[in-house]
């Protein structure tokens, strides 16, 4: 039988366990510190435990840590990491360097159950959700990579990798709790952004849980007709329902969401499309990130032109909408937004 992953235990459960084997209660906090604050991957690293206790843990438990199986460096210094899980599935995480910011883009699922037409990950089958510790490990490994490669600390985290975070709600929130805890990585919640394709009832649940991190909505079209075509999730999560949930989120948390909007040539980049976006933004207090489209294999869309993009953003700004144009990083290694598709050799073999 497979050993139980010790990181699935809370500090209270560890305390009970050690009492049962006649170990002092403080051992639980020591082990918890090794697992989370120090990111230990082996019980033998836990030098302040007796050898007998380490042997007991080795016999009865496992640390199912994530490992980097492949690493690619872009010409713009972006680094894509293929992360191998304990069961040999692979997800991808990205380190995005930008002046004084170093951002980890992390995954929440193996593959994705959504089928957004512009996203390479959407072409993959969803194999399973990630556990909180697997999400946490991605952050640790990207953080270590930033320090090793660029001698820089990790400053931001975005849940914008593979998968839909709000369809793995409990594990995502548990991972945020550990990342922000002083007993974990101690990062500020305001340095974290969770991005969703738009699961209205789970956005409302975020509001009820009064989360402290930022929320981004992958919008990409501001009419139901166009959004239904490129994002089938909209068929059950209409813009009207999303607006209601987002306003509830704003009222409860005091935080405005960000709308992510990829401009596709001759699809959603006209002045009328810009006006549709203005109308939606007036329903929900927000800011807008216009994202450069990154072509994918067999994709039906093309990147908009510079002139159409400028006319689009000018119309937004003229109507009082705060918007920024985000240029993609890591395109040459398929690490940019929408390009994560497990093209590394190990992942391709496992998905055959």
pLDDT at res. 293: 87
pLDDT at res. 123: 80
C-alpha separations of 325 from 239, 315, 348 in Å:
23, 13, 33
Task: List the CATH number of the domain containing 42.
Answer: 1.10.150.530
Domain co-membership, 25 together with 162: no
Catalytic residue among 112, 281, 323, 337: 337
Confidence of residue 305 (pLDDT cuts 50, 70, 90): very high
Confidence of residue 1 (pLDDT cuts 50, 70, 90): low
Boundary-marking domain end, from 62, 79, 96: 62
Domain co-membership, 176 together with 33: no
pLDDT at res. 348: 42
Task: List the CATH number of the domain containing 230.
Answer: 3.20.20.70
Domain co-membership, 124 together with 184: yes
pLDDT at res. 208: 98
Domain co-membership, 54 together with 182: no
Confidence of residue 299 (pLDDT cuts 50, 70, 90): low
pLDDT at res. 86: 94
Give one DSSP letter per residue of 212-228, joined into a string: -SEEEEE---SSHHHHH
Domain co-membership, 178 together with 293: yes
Catalytic residue among 23, 92, 164, 171: 92
How do residues 188-234 score in pLDDT, each as one tens digit?
999 999 999 999 999 999 999 999 999 999 999 999 999 999 999 99
pLDDT at res. 300: 80
- Residues 329-339 as b or e (16 or more Cβ within 10 Å = b): bbbebbbbbbb
The pTM for the full model equals 0.91
Domain co-membership, 17 together with 78: no
For residue 12, indicate whether it is catalytic: no
Whole-number Å distance between alpha carbons of 52 and 49: 8
The number of distinct structural domains making up the chain is 2
Boundary-marking domain end, from 62, 78, 103: 62
Domain co-membership, 57 together with 76: no
In percent, the amount of the chain with pLDDT more than 70 equals 92
Comparing 118-132, 163-177, 181-195, 330-344, the range with the smallest average pLDDT is 330-344
Domain co-membership, 31 together with 173: no
Task: Provide the residue range defining the domain that includes 40.
Answer: 4-62
pLDDT at res. 327: 75
Picking from 265, 198, 204, 278, the residue whose alpha carbon sits closest to that of residue 238 is 198
Boundary-marking domain end, from 14, 47, 62: 62
Domain co-membership, 28 together with 86: no
For residue 105, indicate whether it is catalytic: no
Domain co-membership, 197 together with 285: yes
pLDDT at res. 119: 86
Per the CB < 8 A criterion, the answer to whether 160 and 337 are in contact is: yes
Domain co-membership, 203 together with 180: yes
347 pLDDT exceeds 50?
Answer: no
Domain co-membership, 73 together with 196: yes
How do residues 91-111 score in pLDDT, each as one tens digit?
999 999 988 899 999 999 999
160 pLDDT exceeds 90?
Answer: yes
Whole-number Å distance between alpha carbons of 166 and 259: 16
């Amino acid at each position: 039988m497979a050993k139980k992953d010790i990181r699935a235990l809370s500090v209270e459960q560890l305390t009970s366990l050690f009492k049962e084997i006649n170990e002092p209660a403080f051992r639980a906090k020591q082990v918890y510190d090794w697992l989370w604050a120090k990111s230990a991957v082996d019980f033998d690293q836990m030098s302040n435990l007796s050898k007998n206790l380490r042997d007991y843990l080795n016999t009865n438990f496992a640390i199912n840590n994530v490992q980097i199986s492949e690493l690619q460096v872009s010409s713009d210094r972006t680094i894509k990491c293929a992360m191998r899980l304990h069961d040999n599935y692979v997800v991808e995480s990205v380190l995005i360097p930008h002046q004084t910011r170093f951002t980890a883009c992390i995954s929440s699922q193996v593959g994705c159950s959504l089928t957004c037409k512009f996203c390479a990950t959407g072409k993959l089958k969803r194999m399973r959700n990630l556990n909180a510790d697997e999400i946490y490990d991605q952050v640790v490994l990207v953080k270590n990579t930033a320090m090793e490669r660029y001698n820089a600390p990790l400053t931001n985290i975005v849940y914008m990798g593979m998968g839909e975070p709000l369809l793995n709600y409990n594990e995502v929130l548990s991972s945020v709790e550990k990342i922000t805890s002083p007993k974990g990585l101690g990062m500020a919640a305001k340095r974290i952004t969770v991005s969703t394709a738009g699961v209205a009832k789970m956005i409302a649940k975020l509001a009820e849980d009064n989360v402290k991190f930022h929320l981004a909505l992958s919008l990409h079209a501001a009419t139901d007709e166009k959004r239904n075509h490129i994002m089938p999730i909209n068929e059950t999560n209409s813009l009207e329902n999303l607006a209601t949930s987002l306003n509830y989120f704003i009222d409860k948390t005091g935080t405005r969401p960000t709308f992510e909007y990829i401009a596709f040539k001759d699809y959603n980049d006209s002045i009328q499309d810009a006006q549709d976006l203005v109308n939606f933004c007036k329903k929900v207090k927000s800011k807008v990130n216009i994202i450069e489209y990154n072509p994918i294999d067999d994709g039906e869309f093309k990147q908009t032109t510079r002139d159409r993009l400028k006319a689009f953003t000018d119309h937004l700004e003229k109507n009082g909408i705060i918007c920024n144009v985000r240029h993609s990083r890591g395109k040459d290694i398929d690490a940019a937004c929408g390009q994560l598709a497990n093209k590394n050799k190990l992942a391709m073999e496992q998905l055959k």
